[in-house]
Amino acid sequence: MEKLSFVGKSLPRKDAEIKATGKALYSADLDFPGMLHAAAVRNPRPRIKINGVSDAAAKKIAGYRALVTYKDLRGPNKWPLVDTDYPFLPEGEARFEGETVALVVADSHRAARAAAAAVEIKYKELPFETDPLKSLEKGAVKLYGQDNVFSKFFIKKGDARKALAEAAYTVEGEFTTNYQVHAYLETQGAIAVPQPDGGLVVYTTTQCPFYVLDAVAAACGLPYNKVKIIQTVTGGGFGGKEDVPALVASHAALCALKTGRPVRLIYDRTEDFRSMSKRHPSWSRVTYGADKNGRITSCVVKYVLDAGAYSTLSPIVLWRGTVHAAGPYEIDNVLIETYAAATNKVPAGAFRGFGQPQISFAQESLIDELAAKAGRDPMDFRLHNLLDPGDITATGQELTSSCGLRELVEAVREKSGWDKWAENGFRRVEGNKARGLGVSAAYYGVGLGAKGRYLDRAGALVNIYKDASVTVNVGNTEMGQGALTVLAQIAAETLNAPYGSVRVEEVDSTKVPDSGPTVASRTTLMSGNAIIEAAKPIRDNLFKTALDMLKAKGADIAGMMEASEGVFSIADHKVTFGEVVKECWNRRLKMCEEGWYAAPRTTYDMKDGQGDAYVTYSYSADVAEVEVDLETGVLRVVKLWGAFDVGKIINPRLAEGQAQGGMLQGMSWAVYENLVYRNGIMANPNFTDYVIATTADKPEYDITFIEKDYEDGPYKAKGMGEVPLIGVAAAVANAVKAASGARVTSVPLLPEKIWKGLEERKAAGGKK
């Protein structure tokens, strides 16, 4: 049995002190000699034809330096992402309120803001569309292509419609979900610094430094070797700093090239709301059928995402939602069609869960309804249909290993006292308050999967200095989730280096190759494996040298050498990591290596949606206890039970934090977060009017981890970050139904929606 020194232990966070004491330097904290400041000139309407941009009034503001428009681009006006429909700066048409039309540069932040407000956009308003379903109708305003569809996917397994017709029980429902704002504490920002050779160094808050590299090089017409991207300490991301930081950084870079001076561009909260990505709003119609024995026989789904004005990451977000749209159940007959529709609203992009929470809310709400029709306990019904090892998913993929879903459901069943609640129909009433219990289950493909497999790789550089300190460079980022810590633990374990001697740096694009995005719960798996790959040859040198040194000390090398806690030993003979490193340097052995890890190939076929979609999956089960005021519909989430299979847990305390944070974020989306558009204009772009859960709203947590080893993961780990959020909304909605009898089919579950359901139930004679 492998004895682990650092992996599996709750070691302290590497970045805890600098963040707790305020020493951490974010983008807005950096300063450079001669630095100027930029501000965006934004589109005031949902869709306009741009007839001109005038800075005549801005020139009268003290400190004003320059206006930057699309004419200042040195490369093609196509932001390189999944598609290239989003211009760096619009030329003839701006397609959503808040879109950056131009930028101004000034001596101070205040002067830049004033100058931006003074710039006049000469425009004509154009017809616009804000409803994704209307956008898909024939005769709709043409926003993209011939049909306003950015992307569409299809999964066909068996004959779903025939199976529905033959089912003993069927349920169908339409569900909608609203935006979710990332609400990271640090807004978007970047600083671009011109270099003597005509190149640029860009400092940016980002999840994906190599996306920034792609965009800056393209916009500025520079070769990659003249652009260096350095990730600054990043104050939260959750997906909101995946793609859009590349746009912000490109704007700063264009300003820097035009002025020849360092330029800082920092967003305020309102413009961050108005222009940066969000969780996609969604509409879905889901139908399930089951036989008389309670086995799900059929699933038919139509799923539409509101992508906003440009494609951005919508094709990949939609694909993940498509793959998971039938739920974590073995179903022989599946038919899924999905669409990402263009509208004249802020482009939606990545958000923790990546297109899956929306459809999970729909499917898991309906699973409860199907269980009720079949006369089954919702928990028993799920256990009867769950995916187990050896079962086949909706895409025809056999789950061969690392699947603990059944144990997770059993765990939340026991811990929540589910069977005791069942005696009263999962409902307890006291006065005008009713409490209810609801459950959900989910599975989540780890990594980028078949749709993103060309990006699913990671590099690492491991360097041991003469003083036995260790530096690790990777291409994936720390954004608050604890990556610096977890990756340091993996490096320390592999090298048998003291944990305190290992430092993982923020990303510098010149030190490691393009390692894809920091998304999809892939950092531990991908960068962890790359670190191990880099560390292996160094480890061989270390262990061989340690054995030689122990032999020289008189140790019997026929015995087993133990490497633990930074010490190498045979019986009573010991040498430290530092002593071994010194001898390796004396022997002129190589103490620096690169590592590379690419995800295994998948077999998924885009034509029919069949094949292996992901190399492995993580799993979750949730139970929610809620309290509903039966007179007002006001909802309070009392307690959340969550159970997770994410493979080996590298750092239990950090995993607990990820679980709590994800569950609270999922609850916040489910209950509170309601971004409002009126006639194409965002009505509440601020934290005063857009409500998010705070510590005062935090429910009680009960969290369980069941570690199902993934043999191809670093120390058998999978992925953690996104899993805790996915099933929360459905569990809460099911608990609301149990407590009140009201089935709310749209997120957020606002009091007025619950109240309306209560009134409808009264009008129907109180029947559920």
Per-residue pLDDT, averaged over 446-461, amounts to 91
Domain 16-22+457-598, CATH number (from 3.30.365.10, 2.40.50.700, 3.90.1150.10, 3.40.630.30): 3.30.365.10
Radius of gyration of the chain (CA): 27
Structure tokens given for 32: 């450079």
The 10s digit of each residue's pLDDT in 173-187 is 999 999 999 999 999
Domain 282-450+605-763 has CATH 3.30.365.10: yes
Contact of 287 with 170, CB cutoff 8 Å:
yes
601 contacts: CB under 8 Å, gap ≥ 6: 453
Helix axes 652-671, 728-740, angle to 10 degrees: 50
Query: Residue 768's pLDDT band (boundaries 50, 70, 90)?
Result: very low
Give residue 766's pLDDT. 64
Give residue 3's pLDDT. 86
Does the pLDDT at position 146 exceed 70? yes
Does the pLDDT at position 17 exceed 50? yes
Per-residue pLDDT, averaged over 135-160, amounts to 97
The backbone torsions φ and ψ at residue 74, rounded to the nearest 5 degrees and listed phi first, read: -105, 0
Q: What is the mean pLDDT of the chain?
A: 97
Domain 31-126+182-275 has CATH 3.40.50.300: no
CA–CA distances in Å: residue 268 to residues 44, 206, 562, 621, 694 = 17, 16, 54, 38, 21
The 10s digit of each residue's pLDDT in 97-130 is 999 999 999 999 999 999 999 999 999 999 999 9
Estimate the share of the chain in helix, then strand, then coil, as percent rounded to the nearest 5. 30, 25, 40
Report the candidate in 194, 191, 198 with the shortest Cα–Cα distance to residue 249.
Answer: 191
User: Which amino acid, one-letter code, is at 379?
Assistant: M
CA distance 81 to 485: 30
Structure tokens given for 697: 């709203």
Does the pLDDT at position 162 exceed 70? yes
Contact of 334 with 158, CB cutoff 8 Å:
yes
The 10s digit of each residue's pLDDT in 479-537 is 999 999 999 999 999 999 999 999 999 999 999 999 999 887 899 999 999 999 999 99
Structure tokens given for 258: 């035009």
Per-residue pLDDT, averaged over 429-452, amounts to 95
C-beta atoms surrounding 145 within 10 Å: 10
The 10s digit of each residue's pLDDT in 47-70 is 999 999 999 999 999 999 999 999
Angle at 250 between CA 244 and CA 252, to 5 degrees: 110
Parts of the chain belonging to CATH 3.30.365.10: 16-22+457-598, 31-126+182-275, 282-450+605-763
The 10s digit of each residue's pLDDT in 176-227 is 999 999 999 999 999 999 999 999 999 999 999 999 999 999 999 999 999 9
Per-residue pLDDT, averaged over 424-444, amounts to 97
Which DSSP string corresponds to 664-718? HHHHHHHHT----EETTEES--STTTS----GGG--EEEEEE-----TTSGGGB-
Structure tokens given for 344: 């004249």
Query: Residue 401's pLDDT band (boundaries 50, 70, 90)?
Result: confident
CA distance 127 to 196: 47
Q: Rounded to two decimals, what is the model's pTM? A: 0.97
Per-residue pLDDT, averaged over 645-655, amounts to 97
Structure tokens given for 199: 């190149």
Query: Residue 767's pLDDT band (boundaries 50, 70, 90)?
Result: very low
CA distance 197 to 257: 12
Does the pLDDT at position 2 exceed 70? no
Per-residue pLDDT, averaged over 417-429, amounts to 96
Give residue 765's pLDDT. 82
User: What percent of the chain is predicted at pLDDT more than 90?
Assistant: 96
The 10s digit of each residue's pLDDT in 456-477 is 899 999 999 999 999 999 999 9
Does the pLDDT at position 158 exceed 50? yes
Q: How far apart are the first and last CA of the chain?
A: 55
Give residue 559's pLDDT. 83
Place of tokens 């292509």: 145
CA distance 759 to 735: 18
Structure tokens given for 454: 């060309």
Place of tokens 């999944």: 82
The 10s digit of each residue's pLDDT in 342-399 is 999 999 999 999 999 999 999 999 999 999 999 999 999 999 999 999 999 999 999 9
Does the pLDDT at position 436 exceed 80? yes
CA–CA distances in Å: residue 129 to residues 136, 137, 138, 455 = 10, 11, 13, 33
The 10s digit of each residue's pLDDT in 682-702 is 999 999 999 999 999 999 999
